[in-house]
Chain A
Amino acid sequence: MSDHILETKNLSKEFKGFTAVSAVNLQIRRGHIHALIGPNGAGKTTVFNLLTKFITPTSGSIHYNGTDITGEKSADIALRGIVRSFQISAVFPNLTPRENVRLALQRPLGISYHFWKSDVILQQLNGRVMELLEDVGLADYADEITGELAYGRKRALEIATTLALDPELMLLDEPTQGMGVEDVDKITALVKKVSANRTILMVEHNLKVVATLADRITVLQRGAILAEGPYAEVSQDPLVLEAYMGSTHA
């Protein structure tokens, strides 16, 4: 297999004359934590939506493990092992954290269309559910109503649910957005922990998190790639300093 788990070739998206993403050539190395950064409106989330086919690219192609997946549907891409999280925490609010995680685990059982079976059958997954909830520090909240949990816990639950699918490539859209300092450190540690044996592509605003975690960084600006490389290199790039980090680091 090639070094690159995910590759895009000239990936572009236009919305009625406005080019949101323009000829992006991303190469994500297997096993890396790859960060996608850039100012607001640079097209980071659009790239995520393109990669998971929540929106369809205008042109260009996406290759996963060497296979062209440009024409596939969102659910099929998830089945291939690319699982994403969302900018706004994506949980099932009226279900319990236990049920949230179990929903991810039940899919591989192949019984999800079996409306004639009792859901008692899903209790066989409880052990694994609790392991995952423990990993993210939510074991004590397994049977609360998810919607009533604190924001940071919802994000942690989202990561646990994503992990339950054991994805080969995990796409995290701003995992620390809107969190207090304590939670940011927790999530950073969690992402580091779960990055073993898998590849992570993350959009992140918090540069401290990026500096701690990312093996490689791509900087987007106005839908196009401005720079790419390790943090130390990118953070010294004069173009990047001017366009994005200028205000933060200069």
Chain B
Amino acid sequence: MNKILWKILVILGLAAPFIVYPVFMMKLLCFALFASAFNLLLGYAGLLSFGHAAFFGGASYVTGYLVKNSGLTPELGILGGTLFAALLGYLVGSLAIRRQGIYFAMVTLALAQIVYFIALKAPFTGGEDGLQGIPRGRLFGMLDLGQIYSIGGSPVALNLYYFIFALFCLGFWIIYRTINSPFGQVLKAIRENEPRAVSLGYKVERFKLMAFVISAALAGMAGSMKSLVFQLASLTDVSWHTSGEVVLMTLLGGVGTVLGPLVGAFTVVTLQSELSSVGSWITVIIGVTFVVCVLLFRRGFVGELGRLLKKSL
């Protein structure tokens, strides 16, 4: 894709904490990575998971626990959360890929509900309260992520922001690489015509499972990042609402496009924050937006734009 576009995006990302509220920006990055990871599965392997919150939220609990209770440094906490999500993804994926379509979605939803139940009842998750006051800690034991700088009179956790931004870039690059790899080619083939992929000698279950694990791991990484940003791991992160939200973001932005999930996540998170004053009407507004968008541009924002420009974005 266009290299200039990438450069502009990176520069915007680097400059963002000086322009917009950094915590909001970090939340955007976490959800953008989450949606991109989800899109890898839905858009490129054709698998609709309805339980991705289990990986996102599960990892945020693990990171929270490791950093708060075991006193690990933040990078190890995030690594732990990501590995946990990968392992959980392997377990859920192994069961779910035996079924297709709606049954696949139902299996992932059911297993994610089990994770939700564990998060509610287990002694180490804080139940209804979740894990609160997770310290941001010192990166590699040295750089203080909690350090506050004053920019234009307002306090900004600049170190944390750039750490989160770097992780986002890493995660996003892994997804981009995966999509545009020999492996990604086979995934697209499976999405397009599974029996034909089998007849060419591809063991489609293995490809699906690998895609599932990569997607789960990166969704987990996004969740781990979020627990450091908000210093909180809560039941919301593992609830089926979050699973639904990520589907919404991906469809809104454009499923099967590289930039779509970013645009979708930015749209939904921005709407949520801008409209927070209207209270519970927010779900109605987002719901209506979603319906209108799906009716008007079925391919999502980026998908439609790509069609106009005759380019894959």
Contact = CB atoms under 8 A, between A and B. Distances in A.
B189 A92 contact: yes
A122 B180 CA distance: 11
B184 interface: yes
A111 B186 CA distance: 11
Nearest to A73: B203
A161 B182 contact: no
Interface string A98-116: 0100111011010111111
B302 to A, nearest CB: 16
Interface residues of B, number: 27
A119 interface: yes
B254 to A, nearest CB: 14
B110 to A, nearest CB: 27
Contact of B186 (A93, A103, A117): A103
B214 A115 contact: yes
A128 B229 CA distance: 51
A109 B186 CA distance: 13
B182 A54 contact: no
Contacts of A93: 192-193
B198 interface: yes
Given A79-B201, A107-B202, A115 B196 contact: no
Interface in A75-95: 75, 78-79, 83-86, 90-95
A165 interface: yes
A91 B182 CA distance: 18
Given A113-B183, A119-B184, A107 B196 contact: no
Nearest to A106: B182
A74 B200 CA distance: 9
Q: Which of B178, B181, B198 has the most CB of A within 10 A?
A: B181
A74 B198 contact: yes
Contacts of B180: 118-119
Interface string A35-79: 000000000000000001010000000000000000001110011
B218 to A, nearest CB: 12
Q: Which of B177, B196, B202, B214 has the most CB of A within 10 A?
A: B196
B182 A114 contact: yes
Task: In the A-B complex, list the 10 residue pairs whose CB atoms are closest, starting with the nearest.
Answer: A78-B201, A115-B183, A92-B192, A90-B196, A115-B178, A75-B203, A111-B182, A74-B198, A79-B201, A115-B181
Given A107-B202, A109-B182, A115-B177, 14 more contacts: A73-B203, A90-B193, A90-B195, A92-B188, A92-B196, A94-B188, A102-B185, A106-B182, A112-B202, A113-B183, A113-B210, A114-B183, A116-B177, A165-B201
Interface of B: 177-178, 180-186, 188-189, 192-193, 195-204, 206-207, 210, 214
25 contacts: A73-B203, A75-B203, A83-B199, A84-B199, A86-B195, A86-B199, A92-B189, A93-B192, A94-B192, A95-B189, A95-B192, A102-B185, A103-B197, A106-B186, A109-B182, A113-B206, A113-B207, A114-B181, A115-B177, A115-B184, A115-B214, A116-B181, A117-B177, A119-B180, A119-B182
